[in-house]
Amino acid sequence: MSYQLTRFMRRLPLHAVVIGIALFWSIPSVGLLVSSFRPARDITSSGWWTVFKPPVVLTTELYVEALTREGMAQSFVNSLFISIPATVIPIMVAAFAAFAFAWMQFPGRHLLFTLVIGLLVVPLQMTFIPILRLYNLLGFTGTFPAIWLAHAAYGLPFSIYLLRNFFGSLPKDLFDSAYIDGASSFDIFFRLVMPLSVPSLASLVIFQFMWVWNDLLVALIYLGGTPAVAPMTVTISNLVNSLGGNWQVLTAAAFISMILPLLVFFSLQRYFVRGILAGSVKG
């Protein structure tokens, strides 16, 4: 018992610092959440921390206004329709490519992998003009397939890198035994590699989904500001430009855009650290 108490006391300062940093880091999100439930007149006249002083007045009027004005509800659906395929497509393609780079032998394998990883240092802004001109020729501009393909291409290098490291850390004896039992490469990939790679795949889902969901620049370039296909980031940026003095509604609009990424992160966060460290240590 004394050993456990001593160990707890030694770790207490570290835990206090971590908890303090977490609470400090959460202050802007808490302030945004509280402000989104305050009446508009209160937001302009006092800080969000005054909500805890009686009388406490909370309302959902800002959420109603945000969802009914400027097509915010449609933009939420558009963001889902953009983010889900733009997350699934690159991860599935990267999983096939990473398995080939990790366990298949073919000429130029290491050179090709180096070229793929080299794409990580290419700025996205360099690709906008040539890809946009190609989309204009094909008639893709302003369509959902255009943004799906763009996000898939931008997310592939990092996805391949992370998955290849994880796949390469799997025990070789496992694959040898499966081949001896008559399993094909497809059987090994779907029945062994994919189930064992859940932590790494979950980490990629978090990264890719949150990046696509929060993206503004790529959506503006390839989709434009058309309300029928505009995601929430574009609609919120238009709110900033058009509402002027009625900026209070942005608190509700911003928090609406945060809800789904938070749910995705917290539902998959137990895999996050395991996936990030995938393949970093072999043993």
The better pLDDT of the pair 157, 15 is held by 157
Predicted pLDDT at 213 = 92
Domains with residue ranges and CATH for the chain? 4-59 (no CATH), 64-276 (1.10.3720.10)
pLDDT in tens, 110-155: 899 889 888 888 888 889 999 999 999 988 888 899 999 999 999 9
Q: How confident is the model at residue 16 (pLDDT cuts 50, 70, 90)?
A: confident
| Pair of tokens at residue 216 | 């503004």
pTM score, two decimals? 0.80
Asked whether residue 58 carries a pLDDT value surpassing 60, the answer given is yes
Write out the two tokens for 254. 């911003």
Q: Tens digit of pLDDT for each residue in 232-283?
A: 888 888 776 555 556 777 788 888 888 888 888 777 777 666 555 554 444 4
Nearest CA to 246 among 69, 71, 74? 69
Please name the residue ranges forming H helices in the chain. Answer: 2-36, 40-45, 61-68, 72-103, 109-118, 125-138, 144-169, 172-180, 185-188, 194-196, 198-213, 217-222, 232-243, 249-268, 272-276
DSSP 55: S
In angstroms, what is the C-alpha Rg of the chain?
24
Measured CA to CA in angstroms, residue 42 lies from 11, 45, 63, 247, 256 at distances of 43, 5, 15, 13, 20
